[in-house]
Structure 1
């Protein structure tokens, strides 16, 4: 069942995934020992907590219920399509006793090629900012349509 987070869940996410790392992931061949668990850029987006989770095994977008949000119960492993400003993403329902249900979208797994924590945090921070960024518009197209609009208005006022 989803849990409702009135405060930023970053510390709880980090504690939960540090525990998972210590109890279930240590020594696995795909672990990047140069990385630590970090919850990056979690902020309220349309009422829910959206951010990036960097772990020694993956880089994921994560979504958790925000204040006064009541998600329906999902089936763990169920795929949910979400449209964010930057793109459409497929999230998978996860669940942990400490977090309740959450949605995660794998961006990169494994993460063996990330050289260290500083690079991992930079990548996670960039991703956090980009996932909710509005798509860029070709400036030339905007300028041309503005010129047409203004040009039309100027011609009408000259008459």
Structure 2
């Protein structure tokens, strides 16, 4: 009998965040070539790239840039995967720059992942350098304390949950009534 760890190599990749990010990028490159390239949401000027993958708060996290989306992604934390994505598709996670809401899904060859959409589709990016720079800026803000200039500017209010639609615009909102993963 095959164990979950053998079926989903992500479990062994947690020790090396950049390797997990590159494995995820390889899966998305395959998806791009097989299934998405001919769809109207595909931006030909972009490619698939894993940005900034590292361990933060005991979990691997980074940004995945593809020709059709840019998401903050991480493997589903142990314990959170106990509930079926069909029953509990959302997860809130605390980062130094604020809290994000993730959707849990299953990705073939990877296993359960948590994703927070930043952009989709990706037509506002004219080239990969711009998409990469945006991903790096977002990731730096996410990893900086919420009260620092890097996370949201000198005059923005302190927040506890980042509304992803407003994250890059500096319009951050607070929703403290929902449970968070530390």
TM-score normalised according to structure 2 size: 0.68
Give the distance between the partners of 1:88 and 1:113, measured in 2 at CA.
25
* Pairing 1:93–2:104 present: yes
- Relative contact order higher in (CA < 8 Å, ≥ 6 apart): 1
After superposition, the Cα gap between the structure-2 partners of 1:76 and 1:20, relative to the gap in structure 1 and judged at 3 Å, is farther
3-state SS of 1:20 partner: helix
Deviation at 1:97? 2.7
Give the distance between the partners of 1:131 and 1:75, measured in 2 at CA.
27
Task: Name the structure 1 match of 2:72.
Answer: 61
Task: Name the structure 1 match of 2:28.
Answer: 17
Cα deviation per residue 1:21-60 (whole Å; 9 max; x = unaligned)?
Answer: 1111111111111010000000001111111000101110
**Runs (5+) with no aligned partner, structure 1:** 140-159
Cα deviation per residue 1:93-137 (whole Å; 9 max; x = unaligned)?
Answer: 021232111100001111101010111111111111111210236
Q: Aligned match of 1:127 in 130, 135, 138?
A: 138
* Pairing 1:76–2:51 present: no
Task: Spell out structure 1 runs of 4+ moving beyond 4 A.
Answer: none
TM-score normalised according to structure 1 size: 0.77
Whether the aligned pair in 1 keeps the contact of 2:98 and 2:145 (CA below 8 Å) is no
Task: Name the structure 2 match of 1:40.
Answer: 51
The structure number with the bigger radius of gyration is 1
Give the distance between the partners of 2:140 and 2:69, measured in 1 at CA.
18
3-state SS of 2:67 partner: coil
3-state SS of 2:30 partner: helix
